[in-house]
Structure 1
């Protein structure tokens, strides 16, 4: 198991999406809080800020959509001081059947993320059952696995994130993992 693996756990709240990002051991037990993320709902431009913890005193990084309510919008990931460290975007045409995302980071090959099961993807488009698996594989152009995001069944959304390409910035990978829940309206 990679030391870069992490767990994303959604907190229950009525108005705001909140997430905890945890470092994990070999059995996927939470060991160290890596960050706390918060998204206010009903904003015209999607934005989530990642803090060191829920006191929200120190910003680690953030992501923000470039455009307002644009289905083709690119989402930029910024470090604490505000420099872009990566981007991701949804391929809306391909996502009609199976959600497809692209993650870009300067100096690295573009990763393509797709839902692992076309059958589950299609079923999910016609039902609202929360127990249907929701899993993504992000791969390099040559087919090498870079990031695996697996949703675990439970009362709150929890995602196991397996990092197979440690050369990618963990903050960008954590941002896209949270986006899989927040921006997919999970």
Structure 2
């Protein structure tokens, strides 16, 4: 009986790992071999990978769709806040100290509301760091709108890759997860009763 439970657990973990790998492959192929018009907006492919790794593991279709909503919410917060900050301070005036203060203030504003989901906070924190550190690195060449938009599009690619990975080759529905878990519990229960 322990073998069946172990096999079931390994099968679920392997499926989760393969879906995460598929999402990362989608991100990699898109950033490396996608059309040049798309590639110029995907400036932070590393954040696309982070987004997929945050969303996909052990997730069903419903979990991924909910996480995508949290990604959209976080991206909207970051776009409004960072564009306003870059417009007020101007990219040429960004130093390491200004970037640190901007990240700290932005993180405080995002973390303050208790109603904001943890996934939204994680995504927003990462996006703020990418926007402000990228502004320090590129200086006056940084676009006030295009730079945050590049971070947002990289995040959107990660979310889209997560949706595709969970749907392919068949959707991972919570219905099947509950049935699998119920069968494992039933087998364990009957084994314990008849021993």
The alignment's TM-score, normalised by the length of structure 2, stands at 0.30
Asked which structure has the greater CA Rg, the reply is: 2
State the TM-score, normalizing by the size of structure 1: 0.31
